[in-house]
Amino acid sequence: MKKRKNLLFAITLLVLAAGSLTTWAISRANSKPATINSRYLEAFFQRYVASLGSQNVDQMMSFYSPDATSVMAWGKEMNNEDRKAYYAACAKAFPNAQFYTKRFVIEPTSETSGYITWEFGIKSGPQMAPFMGVYKKVESTPGKEFDQEGVSTGQVASIDPSNLGEIKKLEDQVAALDKEITSVDIQLAALNDSLRSEKGGPSAGEGTTNSAERFTLAEKRSELAQRRATADQQLLDTAVSSIKFTRQNSFQNMDAFLKKISGK
CATH number at residue 257: 3.10.450.50
Rounded Cα distance, 15 and 22, in Å: 10
> Is 57 found in the same domain as 138?
yes
pLDDT value for 35: 86
> Is 107 found in the same domain as 152?
yes
pLDDT in tens, 161-174: 888 899 999 999 99
Rounded Cα distance, 180 and 186, in Å: 10
pLDDT in tens, 197-245: 665 555 545 556 777 888 899 999 999 999 999 999 999 999 999 999 9
- Structural domain including 213 reads 163-241
**C-alpha distances out from residue 18 to 12, 27, 103, 113, 246, Å:** 10, 14, 48, 40, 49
> Is 246 found in the same domain as 128?
yes
State if pTM tops 0.85.
Answer: no
> Is 49 found in the same domain as 71?
yes
- Quote the DSSP letter at residue 73: G
> Is 246 found in the same domain as 119?
yes
> Is 96 found in the same domain as 145?
yes
Contact present, 175 and 231 (Cβ < 8 Å):
no
> Is 205 found in the same domain as 137?
no
pLDDT value for 33: 56
Contact present, 181 and 221 (Cβ < 8 Å):
yes
> Is 79 found in the same domain as 92?
yes
**Does residue 92 lie in a domain region?**
yes
**Does residue 206 lie in a domain region?**
yes
> Is 139 found in the same domain as 196?
no
Q: Which parts of the chain register pLDDT below 70? A: 1-34, 140, 195, 197-208
pLDDT value for 5: 45
Give the side-chain half-sphere CA count within 13 A for 133: 2
**Does residue 224 lie in a domain region?**
yes
**Total structural domains in the chain?**
2
Beta strands in the chain (DSSP E): 64-71, 77-78, 98-110, 113-123, 148-158, 243-252
> Is 190 found in the same domain as 115?
no
